[in-house]
Amino acid sequence: MTIRVVLADDQPLIRAGLRVLVADTPDLEIVGEAGTGAEAVRLAEDVRPDVVVMDIRMPDMDGIEATRRITTARVLMLTTFDDDDYVYGSLRAGASGFLVKDMALEEILAAIRVVAGGEALIAPRVTRRLIEEFAARPEPGNAPRPPAGGPSGAITEREREVLTLVGCGRTNHEIAEELFISVATAKAHVARLLAKLDARDRVQLVILAYEMGLVRPSTGGSTT
C-alpha cells in the first residue's frame, strides 16, 4: 500500500529535496505541498494524506498550531536539536514524531513509514531527551499531575507495567522480553492502553507515563 504524504515547509528547496527523495521510493507518494501552516491544514482536509511532514517555523500559521488542527493525518515535525521549546509544543499538539533536517535520507524515509504505521518516533536519543525534559516542565496553567487513583486506576497492573516500559522508550519486542510475554501480547497491551487512556500514539503514552509518575524524568527509570 502506498503511503500518501503532504510536505509542509516554507522553504521551496526543502520541499524540492524531499520531493525528489520520495519520487524514487515506490511505497511513498507526495499528494500535496504547502508553504504555510494554514495551507497544510487545508490540504490535510482536502487530500486526506497518511502523513504530513511539517516544518515548525512557517508564516501565516506555525507548524505547532497546524498540527493541533489536523485530525485526519499523522504529523511528523521538522526540527533541530536546539528547538526544545518548539518540540514541547509539538508534543502537546499531538505530533507523532520528529525529523531533523540534516539527518540521513534513508532515516527520513524510515521515519515517515514508522509514523504511517501507527508508531511514534520515541527511540532516538534526542527524542528521549526532549520527552524527559518536556515531562519535567509543566506547562503554565496545566492541571496538576494526575494522582495515582486517576487515569492509572482504569488500567490493570500488567498494563501499568507495560506503560512504564513504554515511558522508558522500550519497543514492543523489548517489552515482551522484559515481561516474558509474546510480542503479540505486548502489542495488545499497548493497543488497550491507547484506547483506555485516549492517547493518540506512543508519544502520548510516554507523556502520560511521566505525568502519572511511573517514570522519573531525570533518569527514565520506574518509580516503582
Each residue of 24-49: pLDDT tens digit?
Answer: 899 999 999 999 999 999 999 999 99
Domain 3-121 has CATH 3.40.50.2300: yes
Residue found by looking up cell 499531575 in the block: 145
Residue 213, sorted as left (phi over 0), alpha (psi -120 to 50) or beta, turns out to be: left
Query: Is pLDDT above 70 for 218?
Result: no
Angle, CA of 159, 160 and 163, to the nearest 5°: 85
**Domain 151-211, what fold?**
Arc Repressor Mutant, subunit A (1.10.10)
d(C-alpha 113, C-alpha 132), whole Å: 24
Look up residue 194 and give its three cell numbers: 491507547
Collapsing DSSP to helix, strand or coil, 94 comes out as coil
Alpha carbon distance 48, 171 (integer Å): 29
DSSP character string of 100-118: ETTS-HHHHHHHHHHHHTT
> Each residue of 42-92: pLDDT tens digit?
999 999 999 999 998 888 899 999 999 998 999 998 776 556 667 667 777
Three-state secondary structure call for residue 137 = coil
| 47 closest CA partner among 16, 23, 70 | 70
Q: What pLDDT does 16 receive?
A: 92
Sorted by sequence, the CB contacts under 8 Å of residue 90 that are 6+ apart come out as 56, 63, 64, 67, 77, 79, 98
Domain residue limits, the chain: 3-121, 151-211
Going by C-alpha positions, the residue among 193, 153, 151 that lies closest to residue 172 is 193
In the prediction, which pLDDT does 219 show?
42
Task: Share the mean pLDDT of the chain.
Answer: 80
